């Protein structure tokens, strides 16, 4: 029992590790097994096939992020505060859990990892819920501006920031914490009106 969970988790760990360190195409049953120190066959004792393994990875991440976001809602009563906290949480989640972030948001899922549509909806809802809070906070002040577009742009910002950070394309002179808080500020500026394009 202990051993069961142990090996299963080792497999997940090493798969995650490979994914982040070497990219998806380097996540092979053989390589994972090698890192774990078991036979490729053994992996099939815990996962039906490679897809199932990847899906487990994705779901793990979804759960964690979901939990984090729920905590943000509970921690604050003000919509704007909730929003900012959520932005921060999202970034922090990505920054500190590259293994999950990559698998959740950067996998070219279309062709590579056929993922049950139902589960995808859940994945999106995670971000949708995220967007909803912006709605609320924005809605109170700016009912005229389409909040869907703005939410999408906030999402773009957060996703882009995380992606570049994880790809180590952020200038080394910028401290992580600074980048993080300033990005949240930039996102929070969405709570206020934007100047129309000239």
Partner DNA sequence: AATGAATGAGGCTTCATTCAT
Partner DNA sequence: AATGAATGAAGCCTCATTCAT
- The Cα–Cα gap between 195 and 198 comes to 9
Is residue 54 near DNA by the rule CB under 7 A? no
- The Cα–Cα gap between 115 and 44 comes to 19
From a copy of itself, DNA, none, interface partner of 41 (C-beta below 5 to 8 A by class): DNA
Q: Which of 17, 44, 107, 163 binds DNA (CB under 7 A)?
A: 44
Shortest distance in whole angstroms from residue 99 CB to DNA: 17
- The Cα–Cα gap between 101 and 126 comes to 13
From DNA, a copy of itself, none, interface partner of 4 (C-beta below 5 to 8 A by class): DNA
Instruction: Rank residues 44 and 179 by Cβ distance to DNA and give the closer one.
Output: 44
Show contacts with DNA in window 12-31 (CB under 7 A). 26-31
From DNA, a copy of itself, none, interface partner of 142 (C-beta below 5 to 8 A by class): none
Show contacts with DNA in window 66-125 (CB under 7 A). none
Q: Which of 13, 42, 92, 107 binds DNA (CB under 7 A)?
A: 42
């Amino acid at each position: 029992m202990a051993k069961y969970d142990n090996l299963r988790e080792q497999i997940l760990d090493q798969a995650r590790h490979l994914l982040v360190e070497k990219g998806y195409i380097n996540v092979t049953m053989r390589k994972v097994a090698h890192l774990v120190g078991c036979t490729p066959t053994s992996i099939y004792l815990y996962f039906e096939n490679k897809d199932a393994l990847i899906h487990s990875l994705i779901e793990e991440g979804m759960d964690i992020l979901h939990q984090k976001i729920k905590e943000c809602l509970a921690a604050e009563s003000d919509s704007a505060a909730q929003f900012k906290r959520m932005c921060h949480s999202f970034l922090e989640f990505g920054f500190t859990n590259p293994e999950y972030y990559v698998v959740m948001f950067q996998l070219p899922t279309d062709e590579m990892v056929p993922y049950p549509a139902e589960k995808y909806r859940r994945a999106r809802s995670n971000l949708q819920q995220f967007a909803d809070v912006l709605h609320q906070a924005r809605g109170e002040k700016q009912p005229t501006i389409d909040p869907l577009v703005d939410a999408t742009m906030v999402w773009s910002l957060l996703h882009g920031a995380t992606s570049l950070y994880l790809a180590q394309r952020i200038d080394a002179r910028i401290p992580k914490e600074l980048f993080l808080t300033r990005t949240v500020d930039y996102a929070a500026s969405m709570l206020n009106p934007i100047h129309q394009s000239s």
